[in-house]
Each structure stands twice: as C-alpha cells, then as structure tokens.
Amino acid sequence: MADPGLLKYVLGLDIGANSIGWALLTARGDERLTPTGIVQTGVRIFEAGVEGDLERGREESRGIQRRLARQARRRLDRTARRLAKVFGLLQDAGLLPRADTPASLPGVGVPREHMTARERRDERLRASAERDALLAQLDRELVAQCQDGLRAAGASQGEIWLVPHRLPYLLRARALDNKLPAHQLGRALYHLAQRRGFLSNRKAAPKKDEDQGVVDQGIQKIVAGMRETGARTLGEYFSRLDPTGERIRGRWTSRAMYQDEFDAIWAAQAPHHPEILTADLRKRLKRAIFYQRPLKVQKELIGECEFEKGRKRAPMALLVAQRFRLLQQVNNTRILTPDAVERGLTAEEAGKLIDALDTLGDITFKKAKRLLGLSQQHVFKFESGGEDKFIGNRTATKLIRVFGLDRWKTLKPSDRDRIVDDLLTIQKPETLARRAQRVWGLSPEAARELARTSLEDTHCRLSRLAIKNLLPLMETGMPYMTAARQVYGEKPAEPPRDSLPAVSEALPALRNPAVHRALTELRKVVNAIVRTYGKPAAIRIELARDLRKSPKQREQTWKKNRDNEALRKDAAEKLFREMGIQNPKRSDIEKMLLLQECGCMCPYTGKHISMRDLFGDAPQFDVEHIVPFSRSLDDSFLNKTLCEVAENRNVKGNRTPWEAYGHDLVRWNQILQRVSHFQGSAQREKLRRFQLQTIESPEQFASSQLNDTRYAAVEAMDFLKLLYGEEAQRKVIVQAARGGTTRFLREEFGLNQILGDGGEKSRDDHRHHAVDAICVALTDPATVKMLSDAAARALSEGRRRFASVPFPWGRFLDDVRASIQGINVSFRVSRKVGGALHEATFYSPPKKDPKTGQEHVHVRKPVTALSEQRVGNIVDPVVRAAVQAKLKEVGGDVRKLADNPPTLRAKDGREIPIRKVRLRESITPFGIGQGGARQVVTDTNHHVEIVQVPGKAGQPKWEGCVVSQYEALRRLRAKEPVVRRDHGNGRTFVFSLALGETVQMKGDDGQLALFKVAGVSQTGRGQIMLEFRRNADARPATVLRKIKGGRVFRTPDSLRSAMGTKVLLTPLGELRRVGRD
C-alpha cells in the first residue's frame, strides 16, 4: 500500500481541436489520489489540423488546396505536351503552317539532354508562344475566308459577325461534306485535341453518385440536342448554336463523341487528301489526341497489416474484407432493452442480420429492428456513437444488381473474387465491358452497368492472410478482438517510455488530421511537464466536442442546434404575446418547449396544463427529471418533462417512472401512451427513458462517467499510456471523462467567476481551458459520487440542483485564481516558408491616373462575383450602367445575374450578354514569370524585420521591412537567410516578428503585458502597421473589430516607444528572452 504521506501529481487535460488546457495538481499518495493543491496550470493554442468549419462538420485537410493546385499544374502541363505533339504531327504532314522566322532564345539549338531545367522550360515556353502566334495568324486568315464566303452567299450580317466565335466548329461541320484545304482541315483536327471530352476512368470516377449524375445528365442533354437538330457530330451541333445566347463552353461532353467525329472527318476527307491522310498518320494522330495515361498505382502508400508483418493491407472492396467488416459489426453488436438490460444478439438474430447485410447492403438501425422483431425502444449501442446504420457487403450488393441474386449465388467463390479483381484492376470501362460479355456471359446492357460500377477505394487494417486466418472464428460469432488474441496471441506490453514519441511513430494508423495535430501539441506539453516534474501518478483527459464527434455527427448537431434556436425564438415570442414576459429566462423558454412537446398535458397525471398553471404566480406544474438527476447527472432537455407539483413531490420524487408507477400496470401504460404522443424530435428518446426498468448502480454510474470509448479519446489514451508501459495495463492510470461533470464542478465551485465571466462560462479568454483542466483533474469516481449525493440532498436543502459541495481543499478558490491569473498562454508558431505565394488573380500592369497621380490596375471578374460597392469600379461606363440597371431590376441580388445577365445591344440589334467585367482596383501588384508579364498581389506576409536607424537629434528610430511569402521563398531558394540581419551601415537589426509570435510591451494602459502578433500589413504609401492582441484574448477578429481597444496597433517606431521586446513562450508558458532573432 502506498504511503499516504507521499506527494504525487495528477494531470488534467482539456483537449480540443485547436487548444490544450492543462492543470497539474498535487495529491496525497492514498488510493484515491486525493487532491491537495495546484502545482501549475497552462494553455497551449494552435491552428487546427484541418481547414473549414469544424463545428458544422465541413472541415477538409490543410493540404487539399495545395494538392488541387498541384494536380491542376500537372494537368495543364500534360495538356500542353499533348497539344505540342499534335501540333508537330500536323505541321509535319503539312496540315498546319510553320513559322517563317522562328524565335531565338538562349539554349535554342542545344540538344535537350544538354539543357538545364531552366533552358528546357524556356524552350517549352518559346514553342508554346510560337504555336499561339501561328494559330492566331491562321485563325485571322480563316475567319476572313469564311466571312468572304458568307458575304458572297448572301448571309446575314449576324451570321458573318458570329464567324470568329465559332470558327473551329464551322470547319468541323464542313469537313463532313466538303473538301477542306489542308490548313482548314488541320485546324479542325487540332481543335479536337483542344476539346477532347470527358473520359470516365473507373479509378478516378467522381466520389459522389450525384457528381457522376451531373456528368451523365450533361452528356445526355447534348445527345438529345443532336438528335433533335439532326446533327451528325458534336462539331456540327455546336456550329448551329449562337454563342452569344447559348454558351458552347462549359458543357459536359464525352470522349466518345470526339472519337466518333475524328473518324467521321477522316473518312470524309481521306479521299480528298490521300497522300496526306495515310493510315500511319491516322494511327499516330488519333493516339496523340485521345490517349489518356493510366493512373499511377501507389502501392507504397498502403500501410502494413497489424498482424502479418511485411504484408500490405487488403482493399476494402474484396469480398473477404467486406465479410470481415460485416461480421465484426454483428459480433460486437450490443442491444439495450427497454428495461435497460444489455445483451448481445442471439444466434438466430445474428444469422438474420448477416444474411440481410450480405445481400441488401447497408441497413438502417430502424429497419434492422423490424427485421429482428425488436421494438423501436430497443437501442443498439452503436447508436450512442451517432451511427444510424449497419454497413453491409457493399461489393456484393452492387454486383448482385448486375448479375441478379440467383446468378450470383450460383457463381463459385473463386469466380466472384475474379470479378472483383477485374473491377479493381481494369481501368478502361470499354475493356471491362468487353471482358464481362466474353468471360462472364453478361448482356451488353449488363456489361455496361458492370463497367460503370465503382467499389470502395479504401483499405482494411488487415492483410488478406490475416483476414482469412480470423474469419473461421468470427463466423462462429466470436468478437474480432477475441479471435485476434486466439490466433495471434496477446500483444506484448511495451516498456515504459521516458517521453512521448512522435505521433506518426506511436499511432501509424491515425488518419484524422485534427486528432493528429492535437496529439502532436499534447506531446509537447506532456513531455515538458514530465521533464520538469516527472511522470504524473494519474492523467485524466476530456476531449472537446469538435474532437469527440465525427464530421457527420457535428453536422447533425449543428443543424439540430439551428432548429432549436428557431424553436426557442418562437417560444420566446409566444411568452411575450400570451404572458407579457418581455425577456424570458432560459428556464422559461425550456418550460415553454416542454409544454409544447407534451401537448399541454401532464404525462404522469393526464391533467391539462395552461400557460398560467406553468408561468403564473403560483405554478401548479414543475420541470422534473425523468431519470432522477442525482442518479444520472443529466440535466439535458432529453431528461426533462413536466409534472404536477403535488405528484412530483409526493409520488414521483427521486425515482424513475418505472420505480414510481411500475406496480400499477394500468396507470403505467397510460403514462407511456401519453409520452408516445409527445411532439418533436426527442419523443423517441424520452419514451425510452420512461420505459427504463433498471438503471446503473451508483458505482457503475461513476465508472461510466470516466470511460469515454469514442475513437479520438481511445487514441489519446493509448498515446499517453506509452509513458507507463505494462503498468497502464494493470491499473487505471489514464482515464477519459465523458464530459458534463466538469460543467457542474465549474458552477458549484464558482469557477466561472475566476475570469470575470459572471455566472456563465465565457470563451473570450483562452485561460478558460485551464479552468476546465482543473475540473478534469478533479473528476474521479469519488467526485462523481459526491455530486450525485449532493443532488439527492438538494431538495431538502432548498437548492435547485445540488446541495452545498465542499471544496477539494481549504484555499481552493484562492489557489485557482492565483494560478489562472499567472498563466502565459503559449501559441504554436510556424515560420515555415509555405502556403500560397500570391493570389490566383492576374491583374493588368499598373496604370497611373493622370488627375490624381495614383496607380491602379484592371482585373476581370464575373458579374456574379461583384458586390454592390464594386459595381461602381467597372471601368467601362456603358457596361457599368447596364450592370447597375440589371441589378436594380433583380432586386440587387448578383446571384440572379447568372441566369438573367445584363446585356448590351449590338449594331445589328442583337443582345450581347455581359458575363465578365473589367474592374479598377487600387492595389500594387508585382510581376512574376518570364519577363514579369503576369501581375499578382501577395497573399500573405511571412514576417517583418525590425531595424534600428539613427533618428532626429541622435535618437534611435525603428523601421520595418515586410517580407512576403513570395520573397521568403525566393531567399530560401537562393540559399539566402530567410530573415535578413544585415541591412547595411547604420541600420542595426533588432528582431523579426511573424504571425503568432509574442511581444512584451506597454499596452494602452501603460502597463507591460504580453501581446500576440495578429497581423502585419503595409499601406500603399509604405507605412508598416503591426496588429497585436492581448495574450489571453480569445475573441474572434470579427468581434474585436467592433470593440474600441480590442486590437492594438503599432508602427515599428511606436513599438520601440512602448518598450517592445520579442519573447518566446515555451509549451508550458515559461517566458524566455529572445536575442536578435
């Protein structure tokens, strides 16, 4: 037994997607680890590992935009190479002209193998510029020829005017019936290479069915249009459209349409040019135009099996992997009966569910209950995690739709596996369709359906061999973990670590970027604590909702909260109308919602509830907890209803509905009947709670509150357990609280007032995370039982929720206040040179206003992207007037301009739609690329360099030099220091500042304090402005902008006057002075 006098530590951690609050408490060495004081508290703030709206479940990886940009660059490069090859073939055949005087640049004429990378790029740019010039000249000549021909034929001026807009399509249409001169034919064939249509690569099919549906719909719409107009080819169809009224570009077309048109044009023109259009040229040209490289197989990215070392994980689409996942779900399924008894599936129930999942695919929990003959009051334990269905055999389900259930059942298992292998390995739909007809005997229609079938592209955590070893045991109903232990034995316990390793090393299978970033920052904090104080005797963690829930769950919660906001607003308005309550309290609104839910009828007595009975001076009805609060600590809306005061005091009391009324089955059934008629989304859950016949014992309840089994919590616990090795397997050292208890502790201990929050928790101060961490550290089974006992005594002591709760130790509040007030919030700072170097928009070269002398640029923007203020910046006054008039007509909604654009009347009377406009912008761009021809503006600044220079009267003065991301990368590539410390004679480098770094300086109140760098900007006149926020201020920028003094601004020299000094905050918030950095 441990010596009770021995001092130990308990670490509490409040972990969010972008924050970690921590609290290290001293504790006696008894079995409970009774807390006795505070050692240190702190907060670590960092950017979440994902971008987007976490609360709404709409986050995405931080690398996705970079990945999309890289894919676009590669796609453009491949397109340029393909067009260059096609152009060269057509030139060699005499179907396109050659330049009379090719441009000469350094490196031209040098063999490519002897060129540098820069010379090769310059060569490609030169060739591209030459092609563009040749095509422009050729198009001008061909337009003049076509217009002359139309004039001679007596065509209308409108038809003649449209020739430049649809020249290639006119040539492609004429090529079907008339002999074309060589260059006209070459231009038509080259246009097929420029617009070659969509080819469905089965491996790169759209991820969502609706995306594929949009593609198919667009293609079918054009097919229908061709049929209606009698057009034989796509080019002929487009040649008949008026591009000013019906856009040709931006439509979905298929690769097959262009291939058919190529064949038709070649067949029509070959007799006229037999010496040019040879079979060899046809083969080479068709391949150059239509060849699409197969996707690269990236086997190196597939992880290794957990059990079979050296073997890769199996594709989830395999039938054995599908069966493994299906059995894992079914064998782990637990059911909570209406009387709160937990059980597994019977053999008969498991067999029914497996058969259904194997042939029908995914099944919702609601349908599964009907299938198994269970009432909807039965609850699958999976439902508590936010799931709503069992995942079935998705591969078999899709193939059954193609082959039919009877045929599928007659196929040998080996044949089924071969079919799946065909789907996984054959990329071309037409190849797969031919094989399906030849080998599997499918009809042409069924073969095409099989070719359109896409399977899951993820991987299982196990290899095929491991799955085959485990399946025989799992087929008997054995849970996965039990089968794994029986086949592969217990996983040997690792020795305790002196510090936490890198997350990628400890948890190689972790793929959630938000959790990965949070654990990475957790590692920094915990390792610093271990280095300073040693390993804690216990670690207690709580994860914020943004980490506990999946994106789908967060999206559902967000939508539900928005719906609830609308309901609360309606309830408040009704209270004002009917009861004259102008500013209803939160409890009044809750009563109103409960009244609407139960239909103004007490569920226990059946008596009518009027508004005055509930909100009058002498209320006749109470809000009561269905499952007593003292036994559930559940104060949510889901656990509340209304009850007559006398009935609640004298009959229901501190009991469940079953305990109070179960002896009288007639009345019991009447109560359930009333609850079954509740209105709203909570009806089903409340009926389940009314039906509970047993609930957890106090010991079981206390234990369950400290056992969060959700994914992110389990990953965090496994990570922290590495500090303790085998010891963490033998006894409980690391615990994850389920949440809720910390809120009660904050309120009962008065911790919401520590940061001046009043009675409500505020998130305006980062240090509230440390307050939560203190509560997490205090949360153990004894604390949960203490709260339950206090809730049971509340009524007798005249308290609303809890009776008085003793503080953990004597000077608890004073100790908490002193520790929290002393926190320096630590921020993760990234000075990595990365991210967007400039905005994606290209601007015109700067122009100078002759009247004001100020520079400005022009930029093209879609009319649908304009704001009301920016409409006034349209350069052309005629266009500006047209857009303003149309905006007024549509009520100022620019989105309506997509279908109803402004127009200009041409000389021939036609209405020309305005889809893009030139805007005047007062910004200063810079040139990039060869010759600096493309003008862009910087997206973000990397840092600012503060330099001291001699001022007036010999006084020093600070100046700043802003370094953009673009300039920082240039320095890095040139192997120059990213932070330049040498600024010439008389200019002394002081320090540099980047976003998130910390400065100690005098605030507007004249007191020295810590401030975080929130922004670095430079005006058009060159003035540098630094934006700061106080170290602990957590209010968003949108709020701070509206508050006087919310943001602190300094020029470099006013920063000197404020005694500004750059400092470094360690992960524990310790202050370190920084030299010239």
Q: Count the domains in the chain.
A: 6
Residue 307 lies in a domain: yes
**Mean pLDDT on 780-804:** 79
Q: Are 471 and 322 in contact (CB under 8 A)?
A: no
- Ranking 52-66, 828-842, 986-1000 by mean pLDDT, the lowest is 52-66
User: Percentage of the chain with pLDDT > 90?
Assistant: 45
If you compute the radius of gyration of the chain from its CA atoms, what whole number of angstroms results? 36
Distance CA 243, CA 240 (A): 9
Instruction: Give the three-state DSSP class for 110.
Output: coil
Residue 1022 lies in a domain: yes
Specify the length of the chain in residues.
1077
Number of neighbouring beta carbons within 10 Å of residue 670: 16
Tell me, what's the pLDDT at 959? 93
Same domain, yes or no, for 481 and 518? no
pLDDT, tens only, 934-946: 787 877 889 999 9
Q: Residue 1045 pLDDT more than 80?
A: no
Question: Which residue, among 307, 299, 291, 294, has the nearest Cα to 259 in the 3D structure?
Answer: 291
**Mean pLDDT on 254-272:** 93
971's CB contacts (< 8 A; 6+ apart) are 963, 977, 978, 980
Same domain, yes or no, for 815 and 930? no
Q: Are 566 and 610 in contact (CB under 8 A)?
A: no
Tell me, what's the pLDDT at 259? 92
Same domain, yes or no, for 799 and 870? no
Residue 903 lies in a domain: yes
Same domain, yes or no, for 117 and 264? yes
Token digits for 539? 């670690």
Distance CA 1008, CA 945 (A): 22
Q: What angle do CA 517, 521, 525 make, to 5 degrees?
A: 165
Cross-strand partners of 11: 24, 539
The pLDDT mean for the chain works out to 86
Domain span at 910: 847-934
Counting Cβ atoms within 10 Å, is residue 248 exposed (0-12), middle (13-18) or buried (19+)? middle
Same domain, yes or no, for 483 and 363? yes
Same domain, yes or no, for 318 and 457? yes
Same domain, yes or no, for 143 and 245? yes
Q: What letters, b where the CB count within 10 A reaches 16 and e where it falls short, cover 192-206?
A: bbebbbeebebeebe
Same domain, yes or no, for 236 and 109? yes
**Mean pLDDT on 764-773:** 94
Higher pLDDT, 48 or 1001: 1001
Q: Are 736 and 716 in contact (CB under 8 A)?
A: yes
- Ranking 405-409, 468-472, 682-686, 708-712 by mean pLDDT, the lowest is 708-712
Higher pLDDT, 841 or 1050: 1050
Distance CA 629, CA 640 (A): 10
Distance CA 354, CA 360 (A): 10
Residue 293 lies in a domain: no
pTM of the model: 0.79
Residue 503 lies in a domain: no
> How sure is the predictor about 105, in pLDDT bands with cuts at 50, 70 and 90?
very low
Q: Residue 469 pLDDT more than 50?
A: yes
Last residue of a domain, one of 694, 709, 743: 694
Residue 690 lies in a domain: yes
Strand 50-53 vs strand 35-45: parallel, antiparallel, or unpaired?
unpaired
> How sure is the predictor about 548, in pLDDT bands with cuts at 50, 70 and 90?
low
Using DSSP, how many helices (H) and how many strands (E) does the chain show? 42, 31
Same domain, yes or no, for 542 and 562? no
Last residue of a domain, one of 275, 292, 312: 275
Distance CA 1075, CA 884 (A): 57
Last residue of a domain, one of 232, 255, 275: 275
Token digits for 949? 């220079």
Q: Residue 4 pLDDT more than 60?
A: no
**Mean pLDDT on 472-477:** 95
Residue 833 lies in a domain: no
State phi, psi for 1049 to the nearest 5 degrees: -115, 140
Same domain, yes or no, for 917 and 1012? no
Q: What angle do CA 498, 502, 507 make, to 5 degrees?
A: 105
Residue 473 lies in a domain: yes
Same domain, yes or no, for 752 and 769? yes
Same domain, yes or no, for 608 and 755? no
Question: Which residue, among 1064, 1048, 1057, 1046, has the nearest Cα to 994 in the 3D structure?
Answer: 1064
Domain containing residue 731: CATH number: 3.30.420.10
